[in-house]
Amino acid sequence: MTSKIRWGILATGGIAADFTRDLQLLARGGEGGPGGEDGLDAEVVAVGSRSEESARAFADRFSIPRAHGSWAALAADPGVDVVYVATPHHAHREAAALCLAAGRAVLCEKPLTLDAAGARELAALAGERGALLMEGMWMRYSPAIRRIAELLAEGAIGQVATLHADFGLPGPFPLSHRLRDPGLGGGALLDLGVYPVTLAQLLLGRPDRVQAWAQLTPEGVDAQTGLLLGYERGAVATLSCGITAGTACRAVVSGSLGRIELPPIHQRPDSFTLHRPGHAPELFRMPRVGGVGFVHEIREAGRCLRAGETQSPLAPWDATVQVLDLLDEVRARIGVRYPVGSVAGVG
C-alpha cells in the first residue's frame, strides 16, 4: 500500500459524482477531517467508463489524472488500489468481478448484485484473489445505527417487539427512468426497500417468516411493496418501500421497556431518540461529517485496506448475502423477475 490509497471510479453518473465529492472532501481535510492515521489519506487517480468521452469529461470535472474508455482498462490500471463501482444495479456483478479478477479491491454500490447467487460468486472471487470486497450500504457504517445496535444488545428498551421502517419516493417516474426498467433491476425493492430490510437484518437478524405484497407497474417492477417479517422470539418487522408517494422515511424500534426513533432519512441518520417510561426523551447525536453520505464507508474501506482485510466486520459478506436472500424470496412472492442476474425461482 502506498502512502495514499488510490481510488478509481467505475461509471460516471450522479452517484459516482457524489462519491467522488465526498472522497475529495476527506482527502483535502474537510469536515470529515484530514487523512493519514484513520485511512483517510486518499486520492482519486482514475475513472473508467464505457465511453472515452464520458470518462474524460468526468476526469476533467473532478481533476482526476487518468481517464479510461473501458472498465477493463480501469481494472488493469496498476496505479489503482480500490475501485468504487457506481453503475446501475444490473451491472454491479460484471463490473465488480472484472475488478476483483484484476486484483483490485472493490467497494460496490448497493445492492451488491441483483440476487444472492451473484453476491456469493463475488465473495468467492474476492476470497480467491485475497481482495477487499465491500457493499456500499450506508447503514452498515453509520455510527448512529451501530450505537442503536449496541443499546439493543444492552437491553436499553428491553425485549424488542416491533420494528417499523419505510422509504418511499414521490412519483410519477417516466417510463424511460431506470426505476421502471426490469432490465436495470428497477422497482422500489432493490433501490429503496433494501434500506429497511438491511435495518431489520442489522437489528433483528434473519427472520423466520416472510410475507410480502406489491403493486406492480405495467413493466413488471414493483411500484410499492409491503413486507411483514416474523421472528420466533416474537418480534415483528413491518417494512414498506415505493416509488409512488413520498413517505416519512422514518424508523422506530420498540421493546418492552421503551422505543428508539430514527429521524428522516433513517438510512443515514446523525441522531436518534431513546424514549423510556418515566424518563425524559434522550437524544443521541453523532459527530457531524461533511458530504452526502459516503464518508463512513470510505473511512472503513481505507481502514480495511491498510489492515489487509478482505471483508469489513461492519459489512461481512454473509450479512450482505442474507439480505439478498430475503430480497430474492420477496421478489419470488410478488412476481418481480429480471431478465439478467437471475436465479432459479426468481427470474
What residues are labeled active site? 110
Cβ-based neighbours of 164, under 8 Å, separated by 6 or more: 237, 238, 239, 250, 251, 252, 253
Q: How many CB atoms lie within 10 A of CB 241?
A: 28
Other CB atoms closer than 10 Å to residue 318's CB: what's the count?
10
3-state helix, strand, coil split of the chain in percent (to 5) is 35, 25, 40
Full DSSP string of 188-253: HIIIIIHHHHHHHHHHH-S-SEEEEEEEEPTTSSEEEEEEEEE-TTS-EEEEEEESSS-----EEE
Q: What residues have CB less than 8 Å from 128, skipping those under 6 apart?
A: none
Dihedral sign, Cα of residue 256, residue 262, residue 268, residue 270: negative
**Which are the contacts of 298, defined by CB distance < 8 A and separation ≥ 6?**
19, 22, 23, 26, 40, 42, 107
Helix (H, G, I), strand (E, B) or coil at 135: strand
**Closest C-alpha among 220, 152, 149, 217 to residue 182:** 220
The HSE-up count of residue 182 (CA atoms within 13 Å, CB side) is: 17
**CA-angle at 308, arms to 123 and 3, nearest 5°:** 130
Question: How many angstroms separate the CA atoms of 95 and 254, rounded?
Answer: 40
Of 254, 168, 221, 177, the closest CA to residue 330 belongs to: 221
* DSSP letter (8 states) at residue 130: T
Amino acid letter at 269? Answer: P
Distances in Å between the alpha carbon of 210 and those of 187, 207, 269, 324, 336?
19, 7, 27, 13, 16
Q: What residue has cell string 421472528?
A: 231
